[in-house]
Amino acid sequence: MFQKHTSNLKLNPSIFCFSNLEKLILLVSFPKQVKTSYTMDKKKLSKFKAKAKENENKRRKINTIKRRIVLSSFIVIFCLILMTLSGLLVDKKQTSTTHYEFQSNLSVRELIIKFTQNPPTISGEFAERVKLTTEGAWLNEGESEYFVLIMRDFKQNKIKYTIKKSNLGITGSWSIQLQKTNQLVSMDIKEESNTDNIGYRALQFWGDKNRYTKNLYECIKKTL
């Protein structure tokens, strides 16, 4: 009998539904909980947006750095190729004669003595350290090192400047002929050099081919 009564029991689905009025009552009854939940969601969304923006900025910075590194690498490689090709276009052996003139109160003999007392280098600077040997002298200027032999001929008013060894891959001789008329000094420098270093040959290609001769001349002028 109990089972029969249970089977005849029907549930009314309307008891699980809320009318609009009831929904409004629920919202009014729990305003703080609803507002708090909405505020928390808004804060989470703001934090998420801020984090996403920060990550995007980091990604852009990383991509910018990568592009700069790639561009710099291409420029360096291009310059190395250009320097190598330029150096290969210049002959190792250089032979030339260059004429210079300048005013000086010193005699030719005094000019020759000054040149040998304070020996210059082909880089255009005077030697910082000089070490004499029986076969010549070691000249050091910065990172550059030369083993040179300087011979002076007072009878012919001539200086012969010979580089036997150097850590720059440059060897050769420079014969300097001096003459003086009144206050005018004439100087002819004959160069016979050999440059194995491609980098220095590239400098000769883009700059002055007689740069070593010119540097020696500038050093002589500095002694006046």
pLDDT band at 202 (very low <50, low <70, confident <90, very high): confident
Percentage helix, strand, coil for the chain under 3-state DSSP, each rounded to 5: 50, 30, 20
Angle at 186 between CA 185 and CA 191, to 5 degrees: 135
Question: Which has the higher per-residue pLDDT, 76 or 15?
Answer: 76
Regarding beta strands 93-103 and 158-166, do their DSSP bridges make them parallel or antiparallel, or are they unpaired?
Answer: unpaired
Mean pLDDT (whole number) for 173-186: 93
The continuous run of DSSP H or E covering 207 comes out as none
pLDDT band at 1 (very low <50, low <70, confident <90, very high): very low
pLDDT at 36: 56
User: Which of 50-59, 109-118, 143-152 is predicted least confidently?
Assistant: 50-59
Mean pLDDT (whole number) for 201-208: 83
pTM score, two decimals? 0.65
CA-nearest of 193, 180, 200, 3 to 106 is 180
CA distance readout (Å), 46 to 56, 57, 136, 164: 15, 16, 80, 76
Question: Which has the higher per-residue pLDDT, 207 or 24?
Answer: 207
Residue count of the chain: 224
Question: Which has the higher per-residue pLDDT, 48 or 176?
Answer: 176
Q: CA quadruple 79, 80, 84, 90: dihedral positive or negative?
A: positive
DSSP 15: G
Q: How far apart are CA 57 and CA 44, in angstroms?
A: 20
The continuous run of DSSP H or E covering 104 comes out as none
Q: Which CATH number does 94-222 carry?
A: 3.30.530.20
Q: With 70 as the cut, is the pLDDT of residue 10 above it?
A: no
pLDDT at 7: 45
Mean pLDDT (whole number) for 15-39: 52
pLDDT band at 69 (very low <50, low <70, confident <90, very high): very high
